[in-house]
Amino acid sequence: MVAMKAIEKIVANLGATNINGHLEELLVDGILYAFKEQTSSDIFNMTLNGFVVVLNSLEWRVRPYLPQICDTIKVCLDNKSCKVRQKAAYAISQIAGVLKQCEEEQLMANLGVVLHEKLAEECPEVLGSVMEALKAIKHHQ
Domain boundaries along the sequence of the chain: 2-140
pLDDT at 99 > cutoff 80: yes
Taking a C-beta distance cutoff of 8 angstroms, is the pair 55, 69 a contact?
A: yes
Band (51; pLDDT cuts 50, 70, 90): confident
The mean pLDDT value for 10-14 works out to 90
Dihedral angle sign, alpha carbons of residues 113, 56, 64, 101: positive
In this structure, what DSSP letter does residue 65 have? G
The mean pLDDT value for 62-87 works out to 93
- Residue-level pLDDT at 141: 82
Query: Which architecture, in CATH terms, is 2-140?
Result: Alpha Horseshoe (1.25)
pTM equals 0.88
The mean pLDDT value for 97-125 works out to 95
For residue 119, the number of C-alpha atoms closer than 13 Å in the C-beta half-sphere is 9
Taking a C-beta distance cutoff of 8 angstroms, is the pair 116, 74 a contact?
A: no
pLDDT at 93 > cutoff 90: yes
The mean pLDDT value for 128-134 works out to 97
Taking a C-beta distance cutoff of 8 angstroms, is the pair 66, 99 a contact?
A: yes
